[in-house]
Amino acid sequence: MSSYRLRVAAAAALFISCAFGAHAKPIAFANGTTVMGEYGAGSMTEVQAFYAPMYRYSIGAGHLILNGPDADDSADITYARFNYLPKRWNLESAQANVFVWGSLGGAHVARANDNEFAWNVGGQLDYETRRLYASLRTDLHESQAFSHRIDTLQLGVAPYAHDYNTLALWFVIQARQYTGGLYDGTEWAALLRLFKGNTWIEAGATQDGHLQSMLMFNF
């Protein structure tokens, strides 16, 4: 997909964000701990753990593995992260959020076979109702040896409106674009998302037939 079409899709997502909704958040709730792991079709694998003293921010750490088409293109990044919620809109039947985060850490870069200082900034805009959601997320990872940005757009629909302590079921379409040579074009994925109680699980496949999955626990 051309960058023009991706920009159009991103603009559409922003527009939809103003009318529909979104999900996976780096801050779940005050005094809550979030542990999550994501496998991104072989291009990225990430584990994260956060504690939120207040609903406005959380602190934690993570490990991200980025894999390019060549083994030399891979990087292992370990980081400490601060997540912040600068804005939340609580509407009668919807909620919207703006999250931002930043992290500092170290990366092992395969090509240089060396360890580098690495940093990251990112943000997420989301909006959700009980039946529809949209989120747009961007994550920039930088070091002397690499510059990777991962942009992810998710649009979802629930076949029924779940309630507290009942199983939530979502059908999600994801579009993801990597910069820095990790993946050419836009990677599309169709996902099935389930959550109940403190457990969230989603799994699906990309257009290349690779597994895309995520697991998250809040407690």
Partner 1 sequence: MKKINLLMALILFGSTVASAGTIEMKVNGLVCSFCAQGIEKTLRKNPATSDVLVSLENKVVAVSTKDGTDISDAELKKALTNAGYDVKEIQRTTHSMEVLRSQFEATK
Indicate whether 95 belongs to the interface with partner 1 (CB under 8 A): yes
Closest Cα partner for 133 from 177, 100, 97? 97
Residue 73 three-state SS? helix
Indicate whether 28 belongs to the interface with partner 1 (CB under 8 A): yes
Token pair for 14: 């922003």
How far apart, in whole angstroms, are the C-alpha atoms of residue 40 and residue 38? 6
How far apart, in whole angstroms, are the C-alpha atoms of residue 46 and residue 77? 9
Quote the least distance from Cβ 128 to partner 1, whole Å.
6
Indicate whether 218 belongs to the interface with partner 1 (CB under 8 A): yes
Indicate whether 117 belongs to the interface with partner 1 (CB under 8 A): no
Considering only residues 60 to 89 of the shown chain, the ones binding partner 1 according to CB under 8 A are 85, 88-89
Quote the least distance from Cβ 129 to partner 1, whole Å.
6
Closest Cα partner for 218 from 51, 85, 78? 51
| Type and span of the H or E element at 9 | helix 3-17
Choose, by CB under 8 A, the member of 4, 93, 113, 209 that binds partner 1: 93
Binding site for partner 1 (CB under 8 A): 21, 23, 25, 28-32, 54-56, 85, 88-95, 128-130, 161-166, 168, 195-198, 200, 218
